[in-house]
């Protein structure tokens, strides 16, 4: 048939339908009060164990985005429904014409429309409905969003047109099946009528015969009378007969017409099955694509198949396009929800931390009566029992950062659990709120700075200094650190390029006296970090080699507790054993003052006195507070300096500190130490018990939530910080300390001689013990 040569995509109507207008009576059924026609009609649905086709009436329900199916259009109770919101649509070319699939997460519905065009119409309408429904539910409340997404939706439908033009007014198609059924019904009715007329005719003929018999028997007058009467009757009947005949003729004509239509339809069907058969032949003809293409070229209707594939292809493209659109809106929605959630969680954390602060203050209020006090205590206990993690888990709930450090540190404070929890909540809320807004601009600045620079080009400049003070983004940290380390160790490395390897070799062949202490500390290094927590982790082997190599390299220091932490940080960031070794060398030998880690740690102790001087100058109120409670801050701050805050500060503050430290040196440690006190000055001033102050000082560094503010204090509020002043003070205190040290050494010498004397006695006692046991 010539109709099939036309591409279905280019025509809105079936070829056989072109000269018929859509049947009027069905229009009312297919149209609702709204301007848009209601999507409904008959479809065959495959079902049951036999996979039989059953005729069902399908209607689309807007509100729930569902397709209901019924036995007949008049039924009230649907047989079932298909959820469209997460359904995908497709149609196979292999199957009978008009077959299409609706796949929901639960099952696949196999449906069949009478023609391919009708099927495409259904599929397109379902796509449109699915999209519209999504737009409706995505942003029903915010009008601005609604606008943007609806334009996006229009775009999508517009783009879909690009794939496959939307079929319009195919109602005739939808109704074609019903029409055929209608024809059959009228045909039956016509035959019935013909039969009734036939009977009527027979009856009148019988009457006529009896009349004639009667006429022969009676008188002239009566006979005439009767005859006239009968004649009249006969004429009537004849008229009736004529009428009936005409009517029958009309019906017969109608019947013929219908029959012609029917045969046309049957032709159509035959044609379709033929085509189908042909296509099945294509499938079976050969498994190879090449042979199939050959067949296409020689087959009787290759154009048909190509067109069919094109149409299917276009449809599938539109399906993919729309699904992508749906996915995109979903992920955008998810992202905005995540942000909302982060914001809510943050404010939740804030509220909880405020609540806990109130509880803390209540706990300290003296005027409470015992009942109230008990109630407060109970509330505190409940609050502490609540896990921090009970808050809705978000962002795949990262516990560790890129370097394997815990994002929220553990607080092993006994008496200050409440405060520790308040701090943890504050850190969390701060992280949730500020992470992105800070990271992005910083990343841009660094990207700009590093763009087009090779690593050797990096040269000291005020610009670099400024950038380092705010911290290097994680992406560039390794590169920048390795540059800074190289700059600080260049001469040694150029003189001995194989230095590290030789030192490693040396530590393999001979044992350094420090190796015992190194072994002791190795497994106790950064135990909360993911990369160091397992005894079998390769990082530990690397750390051992670095520390042993260093102990051979620097005999004056050998190994000092704390160097393990410095090397571990270097290893984590630089990701290279040798670079980490050189980083340790750079820190200990180039950055730190001499004798920071040697025998009696004099330079470290001197720095503690320098810090006290600075504290008295920059934070006089706090220094006086410490004095009045006889707090010796160096008990706490000594660690900070010796290991450059490793394990005292959370990693997101520690690493920016190191960024600046590797570039500017020890001044950075002083700046940060003072900034930490400044940051929490008000809190410390509120504590009036020396034990509590110590307890607070022990963990407060891990409670800093706003790293940016700390940086601003360190490099802003603490200015001016002249290098010369630091140098002079160091020299002064070192001198004093060394004097004290000499005195101590003399005493120690005394002790050694005394002990030597005592040792004889010890030998005596051991000997006598043995005697006793014998």
Partner 1 sequence: KMAIRELKVCLLGDTGVGKSSIVCRFVQDHFDHNISPTIGASFLTKTMPCGNELHKFLIWDTAGQERFHSLAPMYYRGSAAAVIVYDITKLDSFHTLKKWVKELKEHGPEDIVVAIAGNKNDLGDIREVPMKEAKEFAESIAAIFIETSARNAVNVEELFQKISKQIPPLENPEGDSNESFKLTRQPAPSTRRCC
* Residue from 565, 573, 578 nearest 489 by CA: 578
Which lies closer to partner 1 via its Cβ, residue 354 or residue 534?
A: 534
Shortest distance in whole angstroms from residue 575 CB to partner 1 = 23
Q: How far is the CB of 632 from partner 1 (least distance, A)?
A: 6
Interface residues with partner 1 (CB under 8 A) are 412, 414-415, 517, 520-521, 523-525, 527, 535, 560-562, 564-565, 597-601, 605, 630, 632, 634-636, 638-639, 642-643, 647, 690-691, 694-695, 698, 737, 740-741, 743-744, 747, 751, 754-755, 765-766, 769
Contact criterion met (CB below 8 Å) for 218 and 226: yes
Residue 209 is encoded by which pair of tokens? 């015969």
**Are residues 666 and 591 in contact, defined by beta-carbon separation less than 8 angstroms?**
yes
Closest contact distance (angstroms) between CB of 615 and partner 1 is 16
CA 202 from centroid of its chain's CA atoms: 86
559 phi, psi to nearest 5 deg = -135, 135
Q: Which is nearer to partner 1, 276 or 634 (CB)?
A: 634
List, in order, residues 6 or more apart from 186 with CB less than 8 Å away: 254, 255, 258
Angle at the Cα of 253 from the Cα atoms of 252 and 255, rounded to 5 degrees: 60
> For residues 87 and 413, which CB has a smaller minimum distance to partner 1 in the complex?
413
In sign, the C-alpha dihedral spanning 644, 650, 655, 661 is negative
Shortest distance, position 561 Cβ to partner 1, whole Å: 5
Q: For residue 714, what is the DSSP state?
A: I
101, 90 Cβ separation under 8 angstroms: yes
- Residue closer to partner 1 by CB (options 675, 737) is 737
Q: 3-state DSSP call for residue 9? A: coil
Closer to partner 1 by CB, 65 or 639: give it.
639
Between the alpha carbon of residue 674 and those of residues 241, 630, 699, 708, the distances in Å are 122, 19, 16, 15
Closest CB to partner 1 among 685 and 691?
A: 691
Query: How would you write 284-305 as a 3-class SS string?
Result: HHCCCHHHHHHHHHHCCCHHHH
* Nearest to partner 1 of 206, 556 (CB atom): 556
Nearer to partner 1, 288 or 765 (CB): 765
Cβ atoms within 10 Å, residue 730: 17
Check: CB of residue 307 under 8 Å from CB of residue 7: yes
Least gap, CB of 361 to partner 1 (angstroms): 20
> Least CB distance from residue 590 to partner 1, whole Å?
21
Q: Which is nearer to partner 1, 102 or 636 (CB)?
A: 636
Beta bridge partner(s), residue 88: 103
Phi, psi of 426 (to 5 degrees): -65, -40
**Percent composition of the chain: helix, strand, coil (DSSP 3-state, to 5):** 70, 5, 25
Rounded to whole angstroms, the Cα distance separating 467 from 449 reads 9
d(CA 95, CA 753): 105
Which CB atom, from 63 or from 761, has the smaller least distance to partner 1?
Answer: 761
Cα-Cα-Cα-Cα torsion 701, 706, 711, 717, nearest 10 degrees, comes to -90
Closest CB 741 distance from partner 1, rounded Å: 5
Determine the Cα–Cα distance for residues 596 and 561; give it in Å rounded to an integer: 12
∠ CA 736-740-741, rounded to 5°: 110
Q: Least distance to partner 1 from the beta carbon of 365, Å?
A: 16
User: Least distance from C-beta 730 to partner 1, angstroms?
Assistant: 16
- CB nearer to partner 1: pick between 220 and 414: 414
CB of 608 to partner 1, least distance (A): 8
CB of residue 140 vs partner 1: minimum separation in angstroms? 53
Secondary structure (3-state) at 67: strand
């Amino acid at each position: 048939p010539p109709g099939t040569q036309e591409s279905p995509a280019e025509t809105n109507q079936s070829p056989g339908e072109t000269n018929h207008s859509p049947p009027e009576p069905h229009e009312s059924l297919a149209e609702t009060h709204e301007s848009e026609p209601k999507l409904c009609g008959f479809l065959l649905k495959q079902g049951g164990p036999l996979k039989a086709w059953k005729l069902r009436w399908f209607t689309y329900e807007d509100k729930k985005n569902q397709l209901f199916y019924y036995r007949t259009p008049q039924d009230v109770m649907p047989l079932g429904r298909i959820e469209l919101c997460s359904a995908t649509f497709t149609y196979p070319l292999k199957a009978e014409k008009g077959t299409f699939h609706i796949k929901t997460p639960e099952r696949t519905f196999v449906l069949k429309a009478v023609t391919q065009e009708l099927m495409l119409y259904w599929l397109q309408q379902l796509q449109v409905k699915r999209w519209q429904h999504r737009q409706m539910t995505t942003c029903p409340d915010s009008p601005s969003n609604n606008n943007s997404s609806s334009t996006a939706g229009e775009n999508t439908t517009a783009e879909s047109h690009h794939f496959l033009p939307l079929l319009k007014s195919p109602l005739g198609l939808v109704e074609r099946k019903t029409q055929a059924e209608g024809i059959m019904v009228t045909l039956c009715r016509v035959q019935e009528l013909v039969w009734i007329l036939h009977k009527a005719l027979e009856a009148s003929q019988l009457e006529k015969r009896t009349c004639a018999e009667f006429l022969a028997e009676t008188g002239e007058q009566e006979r005439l009378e009767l005859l006239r009467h009968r004649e009249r009757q006969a004429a009537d009947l004849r008229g009736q007969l004529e009428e009936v005949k005409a009517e029958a003729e009309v019906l017969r004509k109608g019947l013929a017409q219908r029959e012609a239509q029917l045969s046309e339809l049957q032709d159509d069907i035959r044609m379709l099955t033929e085509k189908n058969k042909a296509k099945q032949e294509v499938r079976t003809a050969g498994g190879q694509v090449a042979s199939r293409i050959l067949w296409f070229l020689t087959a009787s209707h290759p154009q048909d198949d190509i067109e069919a594939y094109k149409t299917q292809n276009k449809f599938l493209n539109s399906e993919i396009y729309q699904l992508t659109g749906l996915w995109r809106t979903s992920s955008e929605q998810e992202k905005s929800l995540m942000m909302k959630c982060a914001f809510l969680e943050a404010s939740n954390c804030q509220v909880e931390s405020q609540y806990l602060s109130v509880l803390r203050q209540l706990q300290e209020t003296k005027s409470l009566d015992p009942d109230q006090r008990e109630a407060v205590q109970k509330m505190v206990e409940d609050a502490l029992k609540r896990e921090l993690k009970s808050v809705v888990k978000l962002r795949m709930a990262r516990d560790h950062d890129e370097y394997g450090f815990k994002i929220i540190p553990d607080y092993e404070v006994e008496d200050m659990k409440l405060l520790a929890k308040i701090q943890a909540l504050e850190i969390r809320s701060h992280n949730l709120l500020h992470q992105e807004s800070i990271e992005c601009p910083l990343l841009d600045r660094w990207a700009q700075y590093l763009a087009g620079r090779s690593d050797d080009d990096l040269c000291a400049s005020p610009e670099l200094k400024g950038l380092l003070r705010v911290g290097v983004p994680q992406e560039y940290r390794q590169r920048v650190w390795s540059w800074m380390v190289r700059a600080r160790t260049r001469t040694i490395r150029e003189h001995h390029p194989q230095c590290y390897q030789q030192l490693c070799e040396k530590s393999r062949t001979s044992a350094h006296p420090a190796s015992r202490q190194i072994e002791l500390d190795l497994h106790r290094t950064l135990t909360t970090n993911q990369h160091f927590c397992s005894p079998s982790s390769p990082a530990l082997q690397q750390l051992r080699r670095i520390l042993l190599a260093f102990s051979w390299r620097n005999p004056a220091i050998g190994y000092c507790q704390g160097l393990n932490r410095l090397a571990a940080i270097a290893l984590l960031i630089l990701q290279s054993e040798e670079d980490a070794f050189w980083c340790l060398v750079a820190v200990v030998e180039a950055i730190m003052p001499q004798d920071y880690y040697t025998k009696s740690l004099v330079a470290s102790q001197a720095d503690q006195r320098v810090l006290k001087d600075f504290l008295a100058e920059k934070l006089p109120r706090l220094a006086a507070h410490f004095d009045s409670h006889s707090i010796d801050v160096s008990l706490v701050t000594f660690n900070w300096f010796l290991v450059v805050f490793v394990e005292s500060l959370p990693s997101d503050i520690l690493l920016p500190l190191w960024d600046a430290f590797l570039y500017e040196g020890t001044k950075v440690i002083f700046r940060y130490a003072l900034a930490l006190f400044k940051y929490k000055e008000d809190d410390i001033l509120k504590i009036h018990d020396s034990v509590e102050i110590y307890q607070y000082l022990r963990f407060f560094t891990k409670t800093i939530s706003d790293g940016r503010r700390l940086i601003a204090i360190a490099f802003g509020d603490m200015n001016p910080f002249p290098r010369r002043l630091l140098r002079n003070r160091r020299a002064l205190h070192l001198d004093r300390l060394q004097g004290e040290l000499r005195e101590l050494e003399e005493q120690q010498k005394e002790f050694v001689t005394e002990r030597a004397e005592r040792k004889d006695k010890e030998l005596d006692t051991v000997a006598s013990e043995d005697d006793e046991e014998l």
